């Protein structure tokens, strides 16, 4: 199952179309649950390499003064800043049942972390049947 999180995935066979609370994000409940579990464990245990495999680079990081684009080469060095403070707290306190979704993706906490499906290759006629789930934004807030 973990392999699916790090590579392209196709729709879970038993789930022909997106449904439920993650429908707006175009994702299935089972894959969101799996991704969230791996991401949460990686952040809480500060496994930089593991979390880096779950991020879409460049990663957009917002705080109250600026927006930064964190490149893959800088991610491990900036990890504690990106996933520290309020972001760490939000991930730690988050439960699968508290995640919410909209057309932008799935939100952890009050929007501290966002993840969504990233199409593998150009989508044909608006269809993105192969995609990978990745963290797309981190909102650090104000100190």
Q: Within 13 Å, how many C-alpha atoms sit on residue 35's CB side?
A: 32
pLDDT tens column, 130-141: 899 999 999 998
Helix/strand/coil (H/E/C) assignment for every residue in 33-47: HHHHHHHHHHHHCCC
Q: What gap in Å lies between CA 24 and CA 26, rounded to an integer?
A: 5
Where are the chain's structural domains?
A: 2-121+129-141
- Output the furthest CA–CA distance in the chain (Å, rounded): 45
pLDDT category at 15 given cuts 50, 70, 90 is: very low
DSSP 53: T
pLDDT for position 125: 67
77-131, pLDDT tens digit by residue? 999 999 999 999 999 999 999 999 999 999 999 999 999 999 887 766 667 778 9
- Give residue-wise pLDDT tens across range 51-81: 999 999 999 999 988 999 999 999 999 999 9
- For the structural domain made of 2-121+129-141, what CATH number should be given? 3.10.450
């Amino acid at each position: 199952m973990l392999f699916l999180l790090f590579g392209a995935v196709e729709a879970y066979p038993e789930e022909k179309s997106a449904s439920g609370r993650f429908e707006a994000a175009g994702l299935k409940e089972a894959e969101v649950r799996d991704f969230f579990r791996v991401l949460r464990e990686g952040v809480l245990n500060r496994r930089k390499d593991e979390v880096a495999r779950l991020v879409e680079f460049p990663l957009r990081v917002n705080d109250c003064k600026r927006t930064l684009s964190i490149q893959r080469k800088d991610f491990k060095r900036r990890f504690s800043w990106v996933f520290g403070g309020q972001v760490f707290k939000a991930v730690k306190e988050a439960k699968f049942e508290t995640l919410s979704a909209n057309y932008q993706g799935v939100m952890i906490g009050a929007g501290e972390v966002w993840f969504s499906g990233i199409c593998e290759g150009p989508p044909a006629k608006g269809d993105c049947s192969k995609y990978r789930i990745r963290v797309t934004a981190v909102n650090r807030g104000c100190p």
